Amino acid sequence: MFKRELFNEDHEAFRDMVRRFIDNEIAPHHAQWEADGVVPRDLWLKAGEAGMLCCTVPEQYGGAGADYLFDVIVFEEMARSGYTGPGFMIHCDLVATYIASFGSEAQKNKWLPLMVQGKAIGSLGMTEPHAGSDLKAIRTRAVRDGDDFVISGQKVFISNGQLCDVIVLATKTDSTAGAKGVTLFLVDTSLPGFRRGKNLHKLGMKAQDTSELFFDEVRVPASAMLGEEGRGFELMMTKLAQERLAQAIRSATVAETVIDWTIEYTGNRKAFGKTIGDFQNTQFKLAELKTEAVVGRQFTDKCIETFMKGELTAVDAAMAKMWLSNMHCKVVDECLQLFGGWGYMWEYPIARAYADARIVKIAGGSIEVMKHIIGRQLFADFHPTKDPAVNGVAGINPA
């Protein structure tokens, strides 16, 4: 197989530490957290102390100022473990990135050190009951009142929703302006009027808290605005490629891991006088899956490399997200089949991987949206336009 060339000795030493952390602090407790539907805040503090949170945050804001590969290692090792409870990816790759990229100095100084330490947990508040991928259709409103804004509305399917201390919240400040009426705010969840709904019961990722959030005239100062008024949609579009790359990273790692589990299981499980791995069907099936996993890994690593150069386009990220998500679901489904009845038992990690996999075709933009982005670009090449959304840079038409 191809040798990965992205990482150096410092990266691999960090990887070893992350693996030990998962073995010691997560593995013994994850089954209980699945029953609870949430991980304890204490875990976030331990992860912060270990240096696993928000690795790229600059030193002046309490972070390590490390390169993106350190975050990649955390995402990969969490995916390899099969433990999906800790919502580190949302916290680090999205919320902290939004604040570091678009926040004022006051916002950065207030939130980033706390997020690095695990003392403040971040959520991304975009999806609403009637607005998923179509973010310009959100109804949560922020109305100016003197030097403040008053926010009212509802969000749903919010990861880290039961624990979050700060939310990057998408609102409408002008309901008549379409995408140009969207504004982002950093909302402190200790403010009056904020309320958490129930912890939602999901098909998979059972230990990760996912919630409805309600905003009943939550008053925030104008200084809580993230970026400029009316530019929220534009800011969200600039981070979609990074979000989709993170999804691809997880999918590539899960596929590799599940195949390894299956090789080990079928190499030991006996049927009809020989191991399941001795049968041609098993070998042919795993040969196909392994080849697809290697192709996915090479594509993902190339996207990581391109992203670190600042050159990853929305279309490339959409291709990675679409292909890796489909491959991820295919691998866990066909590998579970090779486990037979045991694959359906929750005590086997393959069962959890199967339940956790289905969300990857939805989260970060559905497969259908990815196809739309890619297909639109194919025809935009024949009809060039200055509109970045039509050319596939934005990802979703903001009209």
> 170-180: per-residue pLDDT in tens?
999 999 998 99
**Residue at 393 is within a domain:** no
- Report the distance separating Cα 40 and Cα 207, nearest Å: 10
- pLDDT bin (cut points 50, 70, 90) of residue 2 is confident
Residue that terminates a domain, selected from 185, 210, 230: 230
Angle at 213 between CA 207 and CA 217, to 5 degrees: 160
Composition of the chain by helix, strand, coil, percent to 5 = 55, 15, 30
| Eight-class DSSP state of 370 | H
Among the residue ranges 100-104, 201-205, 354-358, 375-379, the one predicted with the least confidence is 375-379
Q: What is the DSSP string of 154-166?
A: EEEEEETTTT-SE
**Residue at 391 is within a domain:** no
Query: What's the domain count of the chain?
Result: 3
Q: Considering the entire predicted model, what is its pTM?
A: 0.93
393 pLDDT higher than 50: no
**Residue at 386 is within a domain:** no
User: Do 195 and 281 share a structural domain?
Assistant: no
Domain CATH for 351? 1.20.140.10
- Report the distance separating Cα 380 and Cα 140, nearest Å: 33
Active site residues: 243
Angle at 110 between CA 152 and CA 78, to 5 degrees: 85
Residue 173 CA to its chain's centroid (Å): 27
Answer whether 237's CB lies under 8 Å from 196's CB: no
User: Do 372 and 283 share a structural domain?
Assistant: yes
379 pLDDT higher than 60: yes
Residue in the structure block whose two tokens are 């490339």: 316
| Eight-class DSSP state of 128 | B
User: Do 186 and 225 share a structural domain?
Assistant: yes
- pLDDT bin (cut points 50, 70, 90) of residue 3 is confident
- Report the distance separating Cα 274 and Cα 266, nearest Å: 10
User: What pLDDT sits at residue 385?
Assistant: 57
User: Do 158 and 63 share a structural domain?
Assistant: no
User: Do 62 and 23 share a structural domain?
Assistant: yes
| Structural domain boundaries enclosing 84 | 9-120
User: Do 96 and 34 share a structural domain?
Assistant: yes
Q: Please state, as a whole number, how many other Cβ atoms lie within 10 Å of the Cβ of residue 8.
A: 10
- pLDDT bin (cut points 50, 70, 90) of residue 113 is very high
* Angle, helix 68-81 to helix 9-21, in steps of 10 degrees: 40
Answer whether 87's CB lies under 8 Å from 99's CB: no
Beta bridge partners of 144: 149
The string of pLDDT tens digits covering residues 321-368 is 999 999 999 999 999 999 999 999 999 999 999 999 999 999 988 999
**Residue at 155 is within a domain:** yes
Cα-Cα-Cα-Cα dihedral sign, residues 126, 129, 131, 137: negative
3 state SS of 276: helix
Q: What is the CA radius of gyration of the chain?
A: 21
- Report the distance separating Cα 276 and Cα 256, nearest Å: 19
User: Do 175 and 293 share a structural domain?
Assistant: no
3 state SS of 47: helix
**Residue at 375 is within a domain:** yes
The string of pLDDT tens digits covering residues 125-157 is 999 998 777 777 899 999 999 999 999 999 999
**Residue at 398 is within a domain:** no
**Residue at 396 is within a domain:** no
CA dihedral 53, 57, 62, 64 (to 10 degrees): 80
Residue that terminates a domain, selected from 189, 206, 230: 230
Domain CATH for 166? 2.40.110.10
Give percent above pLDDT 70 in the chain.
95
Angle at 256 between CA 320 and CA 302, to 5 degrees: 35
Domain CATH for 46? 1.10.540.10
User: Do 100 and 32 share a structural domain?
Assistant: yes
User: Do 112 and 133 share a structural domain?
Assistant: no
Reported in sequence order, the residue ranges of the chain that DSSP labels E, i.e. its strands, are 122-125, 141-145, 148-159, 166-172, 182-188, 194-199, 210-221, 225-226, 270-271, 274-275
**Residue at 399 is within a domain:** no
User: Any residues with CB less than 8 A from the CB of 309 and at least 6 apart, and which?
Assistant: none
User: Do 244 and 341 share a structural domain?
Assistant: yes
User: Do 353 and 248 share a structural domain?
Assistant: yes
End-to-end CA distance of the chain: 46
Residue that terminates a domain, selected from 230, 251, 278: 230
User: Do 354 and 303 share a structural domain?
Assistant: yes
